[in-house]
Amino acid sequence: MANPLCHFELMTSDPQKCRDFYGAVFDWQFDDKTMPGYTLIQTGIDPAGGIMKKPEKIPGVCINTYFNVGDIDTVLKKAVEHGGKILVTKTPVPNVGHLAMFADPEGIVIGIMQGES
């Protein structure tokens, strides 16, 4: 049985800054009302995610996932424009497509993948 990504969570020191960044880079929508103190992320297709303030006992901000995108180059450009840093440039993955990784303004690492055309 496959274990596809079913939810992701961004634990951050500044939830509003995190929301602003990902809203600008990926055009995500957010719901702050359903679960007070927790922001639900609607990516436009499952899986959905969440943003929360990092608990003090957690040593650092964190996430480790890959997201499917239509155009890696455009997403990397948006990430840099909004304060992110490219960590892994567009890299071919045989029989899959391409991947890249960037860090958001707080250093959270995000992977993106674009399938073969």
- How do residues 16-46 score in pLDDT, each as one tens digit? 999 999 999 999 999 999 988 899 999 999 8
Q: 49 vs 55, which has greater pLDDT?
A: 49
Q: Give me the mean pLDDT over the 78-88 stretch.
A: 96
* pLDDT bracket for residue 3 (50, 70, 90): low
pLDDT at 14: 95
- pTM for the model stands at 0.75
Superfamily of domain 7-115: 2,3-Dihydroxybiphenyl 1,2-Dioxygenase, domain 1 (3.10.180.10)
* pLDDT bracket for residue 4 (50, 70, 90): low
SS3 69: coil
* pLDDT bracket for residue 2 (50, 70, 90): very low
Long-range Cβ contact pairs of 67-71 (< 8 A, separation 24 or more): 67/26, 67/43, 67/110, 67/111, 67/112, 67/113, 68/112, 68/113, 68/114, 68/115, 69/112, 69/113, 69/114, 70/114, 71/114
Q: Give me the mean pLDDT over the 6-22 stretch.
A: 93
Strands 85-93 and 109-115: unpaired
Would you kindly state where each structural domain of the chain is located, as residue ranges?
Answer: 7-115
Q: Give me the mean pLDDT over the 43-63 stretch.
A: 88
